[in-house]
Structure 1
Amino acid sequence: MAQFDRSDDQVVVVIGSGAAGGTLANSLCQAGIDVVLLESGPMVPAEEFIRDEWAGNELLGWNDRRLATGGWQMEESYPGQPVWHSEVVGGTSVQWLGVSLRMLPEELRARSTYGAIDGASLIDWPVDANELSSYYDRAEAIMAVSGTHGLPHNPMSENTRRIAVGSKAIGYMQFGPNPLAIVRDKHNGRGPSMQDGFSIQGDRARAKWSTAYTEIPAALATGRMDLRPNCRVVSIEADGDRVSAVLYRDANGQMIRQETRFVVVAANSIESPRILLASANSEHPSGLANGSDMVGRCYMRHVMGTLWSVFDEPVHMNRGESMTGLVADELYHNPERGFSGGYYIEQNAISLPAMARVLDPHLWGRDLTYALDHYASMGGMIAVGEDLPQLSNRVTLDTGKLDAFGVPLASIHYDDHPNDSAMRNHAYDAMEAIHRAAGATRCYRSPPFPATHNLGTVRMSSRPEDGVVDSFGIAHEVKNLMVSGGPIFPTSGAANPTLTIVALALRQADHLADRLKRSGR
């Protein structure tokens, strides 16, 4: 592994090692560019992953306190951890379920497709759908997504079969296998999948794609990456329209200043705006790149709801991969349903101990024990739908409450848009109809767990007044600052976001490598 001097102002500093940061950093290294990759979490070998959701999250998750305000259910049920992402080398690519869906072209043109919607801040993406398609191809090949590039899909579980039977019975026509970045057989040193339902906690078999054991080792092998785990970024130094250094605390708590020629912030939709806001100075009094007052705004998390149902026969939803099937009939924009945008219905599964916690916070006594006693006969589904961006849904800093590193805590305000509520209610009805048609005897409509698909807050836009960064994620106001990952999404679409994050990161890396080679800055 390379080790660059702290005064080396020719390195690119990438903050965050997940799907965006790890992918982009590797692409830059492969192009001959020196990279310092800062990750706030430790390096955890796959052999040490814990096959338990809650214990695994303690090991891999970002467990610092956050603040929740607004009308969302997280304020009541998870006030100190209303969102979920990871703090480990590989980021949330270690703790995801592998779903790799493309966004629809019309979802990239939400403002043009849906028109103006009261209370929503809709814009079209400044990225061409045809260009993005070629990067989707590259991302699917890199991640080894099932059903693409000749790779087989994962086997259908009994849990999936129930959805297939029920969806057909109620007239849905678009049930199919979910494209997963989980290899069924050995592939490029990964896998095969153990088909045991334990991949969200970290995949010991490495069948599930993660930058932790794909992109990052490849980047280290080039001799151009200096990987620094356990390093928490505090702020970014800027002079006028250029950044010059990144300040972070290392594993010993020492403040380190790393000079740089370019900074890429790829720290999720909560930490990315938090870093920018915490980097305020006399020239950027509202936060770095925040002259538009858009940093932190338009936070999205997808419209989600889960359904767990009891059947007369065993389902064993803990067997097989967790999300091998989906229904796409409700994906497409059809305002006659009473809302704009659409949603997927995907297979879902969870372990028995976790079920006791997430089934329903208001369920107790015999009703709760009945459900847990029938765990072996339970099947699960989750709706994932488009969440409309609202200016008031935002990440801010609570300057009266500091973390252990002296940075104000992130305060996350979120309220459902009426469109979100209408979509979620429609999805609950659809999911229950599917399971009832497949023989379910009892159904439980569960609220979402802590938000997982964190999107927006540093969105890209054609006009500087509408967002923070341009189509390549470069700040409108700061020439050598890029943001990557979910924060730059102008709208959420309905697709699980990781494939789009990787595709965009590849596009960003191509642009940045070309720029640095041509101009050096």
Structure 2
Amino acid sequence: MKIDLKAFDRAELGPYDLCIVGGGVAGLTLAWALRDSGLGICVLETGGERPEPETARLSRGDITGYPYFPLDMARARALGGSSHLWDYEVAPGVCRIRLRPLDPIDFERREAVPFSGWPFGYETLAPYYRRAQAFFGLEDRPYTAEAWASDAERPLLSEGSAVLRTALFQFGDPARFYRDYGPALLADPNVTVCLHAHALELLTNETGEVVEGVRVARPDRTEVIVRARCVVLAAGGLENARLLLLSNRVCPNGLGNAYDRVGRFFMEHLHFLSGLFMPADRALIPQLGFYRLHARLGTWIMGKLALQEDVVRREGLLNYCVALWSTDRLALPRRNNPLLWGGFEALRVLREAIRHRTWPEDLPRQLFRLVRDMPRLVPWATTRLLALKGKTTATTRAPVAFVLHHMTEQAPDPESRVRLSRRRDVFGQPRLELHWRIGRQDVESLQRAQHLVAQELARLGWGSVQEEEFRRIPPDGITGGFHHMGTTRMHASPREGVVDPDARVHGVKNLYVAGSSVFPTAGFANPTLTIVALTLRLADHLRTRLT
């Protein structure tokens, strides 16, 4: 059942058995899994059925650490959440999302990785990973390269290697969340989906041990109280922590934050172009089709090189993979991402203000950033225009080498964090402030992994890698992957984490968290399949507890 708070005048909703704060991937998965449980379920979505500019502005925040993408670009506030942003085009007009489970080593406590270790192992999530496949229209097929190999395309580079393995990624359909599950739940009489319902605060009893409801704002800034006997935060890797911090009427530091853990341990997947693989014989290049995007057995897949798990353990490294991007130039890659420039964000804010005929936020600051970055914005824009023009006239040349695109996990760092900003949103609440840190261990592990890959490819006779030395830490050009993880991390002890192994917030009897914010470590796999698997596990727990 659909309720749009834009046209809803009651002051209270409920009581429900379960209130899910957030209608993104985690929230819709949970509601979908429990829709036939007999529970009264309410989903609160801050946006509408499709992304809207005025709602997107609620995601703006401040960046104080290593440069990061504008926060309103990295998140989508609409039914279906970030699935609206997943636009990896596998064929003209066909978009998919890259999927892979975490590796068994990602769940282990590793002496070389501080704060590592999940409270359960891979085997606990394995059945939920299999169930999660269906949410993306995929069959239950293993993520082993051998299961997808053919005579024409096989994981050639890692065959016979004790150092390298080929990590397999499957590509699923992201539109199912906003095209199928969202509309179906809007029409389901057992589920109430509230649109334009902006959660402001969790209301608790006088001891802070029980959540009694959620204070929600309508777009016109009037409020509604939603009552429920159980609440799940599924608002995303950043917003989950923000809501806990904002809920500070009874607990001054926020809910689940007795030991100052909420918002800490923010992690991303480091993306970095570095190095050039030059095959010893160019006749090898057409044989490496397994490492490019291709369709096999009705599914789009891609192989990437990774290190064997025992090598990662022995070397004390962070988990890591590398994609091979074919190039027709024997030149090291350029690292130039304007999304990290303040001037680029200023240009985007000003353009949006002109388009919607509104006054731009903090105009003097935007103009200052635009003028400051003009010396690099103009050459970048000129280069882009010339490149686009060249694509229409130039003939495609045969590839001669492969640029190495590295993706690695980060070591959990309590000083990499989100907190409440001094600046406020349209509802008068503190916005998010992100302080992202990239540590020496992150960079040195990446560099060592790159060297091991280069060494093994040479030993096997496949070719040589032109490696780069990093003259500074972090080196220029490292970016994230729009993956927000770790800010409400899972741990059996409230001194080390925010939620327990069942994803229940420490110290609060009926409050849970769903999503990547509970990850203690992140591996190198995109987080979405693990988000859905964890949410299905939570659904089973709540079905037992609430029914």
TM-score (norm 2): 0.70
Give, in whole Å, the separation in 1 of the partners of 2:81 and 2:275.
Answer: 29
Q: Secondary structure at 1:87's aligned position in 2?
A: coil
What is the Cα deviation at residue 427 of structure 1?
Answer: 5.9
Give, in whole Å, the separation in 1 of the partners of 2:58 and 2:13.
Answer: 32
Q: Aligned ranges for residues 233-244 of structure 1 at < 5 Å?
A: 233-239=199-205, 240=207, 241-244=209-212
Give, in whole Å, the separation in 2 of the partners of 1:133 and 1:89.
Answer: 28
What is the Cα deviation at residue 390 of structure 1?
Answer: 1.0
What is the Cα deviation at residue 392 of structure 1?
Answer: 0.9
Which residue matches 1:137?
130
The structure 2 residue matched to 1:121, chosen from 115, 139, 156, is 115
Which residue matches 2:303?
326
Kindly indicate whether residue 256 of structure 2 is the aligned counterpart of residue 300 of structure 1: no
Kindly indicate whether residue 468 of structure 2 is the aligned counterpart of residue 502 of structure 1: no
- Greater Cα offset, 289-298 or 168-177: 168-177
| Larger strand percent | 2
Which residue matches 1:288?
255
Contact 1:108 1:491 in 2 (8 A): yes
Which residue matches 1:84?
74
What is the Cα deviation at residue 275 of structure 1?
Answer: 0.8
Q: Secondary structure at 2:491's aligned position in 1?
A: coil
Q: Which amino acid aligns with 1:106?
A: I
- Please list every run of 5 or more consecutive structure 1 residues that lacks an aligned counterpart in the other structure: 46-56, 182-206, 350-354
Give, in whole Å, the separation in 2 of the partners of 1:455 and 1:279.
Answer: 21
Aligned residues: 461
Q: Secondary structure at 2:224's aligned position in 1?
A: strand
Q: Which amino acid aligns with 2:510?
A: N
Give, in whole Å, the separation in 2 of the partners of 1:256 and 1:487.
Answer: 27
Give, in whole Å, the separation in 2 of the partners of 1:360 and 1:91.
Answer: 23
Kindly indicate whether residue 418 of structure 2 is the aligned counterpart of residue 395 of structure 1: yes
Q: Aligned ranges for residues 68-83 of structure 1 at < 5 Å?
A: 68-70=63-65, 72-74=66-68, 78=69, 80-81=70-71
The structure 2 residue matched to 1:30, chosen from 30, 33, 36, is 36
What is the Cα deviation at residue 359 of structure 1?
Answer: 9.5
Which residue matches 1:201?
none
What is the Cα deviation at residue 134 of structure 1?
Answer: 0.9
Contact 1:307 1:431 in 2 (8 A): no
What is the Cα deviation at residue 340 of structure 1?
Answer: 1.8
Q: Which amino acid aligns with 2:204?
A: A
Task: Quickly say closer, same or farther: Cα 1:270–1:285, change in 2 above 3 A.
Answer: same
- Greater Cα offset, 3-12 or 446-455: 3-12
Q: Secondary structure at 2:321's aligned position in 1?
A: strand
Q: Which amino acid aligns with 1:216?
A: G
- Greater Cα offset, 464-473 or 138-147: 138-147
Give, in whole Å, the separation in 2 of the partners of 1:320 and 1:89.
Answer: 30
Which residue matches 2:331?
none
Kindly indicate whether residue 178 of structure 2 is the aligned counterpart of residue 212 of structure 1: yes
Kindly indicate whether residue 283 of structure 2 is the aligned counterpart of residue 261 of structure 1: no
Kindly indicate whether residue 311 of structure 2 is the aligned counterpart of residue 343 of structure 1: no
Kindly indicate whether residue 89 of structure 2 is the aligned counterpart of residue 99 of structure 1: no
Give, in whole Å, the separation in 2 of the partners of 1:408 and 1:38.
Answer: 20
What is the Cα deviation at residue 221 of structure 1?
Answer: 4.5
Q: Deviations over 1:184-233 (max 9, x none)?
A: xxxxxxxxxxxxxxxxxxxxxxx435422333344345411111222221
Give, in whole Å, the separation in 2 of the partners of 1:299 and 1:426.
Answer: 23
Give, in whole Å, the separation in 2 of the partners of 1:287 and 1:360.
Answer: 31
Which residue matches 1:192?
none
Contact 2:266 2:485 in 1 (8 A): yes
Which residue matches 2:434?
412
Q: Percent identity?
A: 26
The structure 2 residue matched to 1:15, chosen from 18, 21, 31, is 21
Q: Deviations over 1:439-495 (max 9, x none)?
A: 99999x982445511101111111121111111111111111111100111111221
RMSD: 4.7
Q: Aligned ranges for residues 365-514 of structure 1 at < 5 Å?
A: 368=383, 373=390, 382-398=405-421, 400-426=422-448, 447-449=477-479, 451-514=481-544
Give, in whole Å, the separation in 2 of the partners of 1:274 and 1:27.
Answer: 26
Give, in whole Å, the separation in 2 of the partners of 1:304 and 1:39.
Answer: 31
Task: Quickly say closer, same or farther: Cα 1:384–1:357, change in 2 above 3 A.
Answer: closer
Give, in whole Å, the separation in 2 of the partners of 1:15 and 1:63.
Answer: 15
Give, in whole Å, the separation in 2 of the partners of 1:127 and 1:440.
Answer: 38
Q: Secondary structure at 1:276's aligned position in 2?
A: helix
Give, in whole Å, the separation in 1 of the partners of 2:519 and 2:339.
Answer: 30
Give, in whole Å, the separation in 2 of the partners of 1:60 and 1:412.
Answer: 20
Give, in whole Å, the separation in 1 of the partners of 2:102 and 2:142.
Answer: 19
Contact 2:112 2:317 in 1 (8 A): no
Q: Deviations over 1:85-121 (max 9, x none)?
A: 22221011332352221112221113xxx2154xx33
Give, in whole Å, the separation in 2 of the partners of 1:30 and 1:380.
Answer: 49
Which residue matches 1:198?
none
Specify the structure having the higher radius of gyration (Cα). Answer: 2
What is the Cα deviation at residue 426 of structure 1?
Answer: 4.6
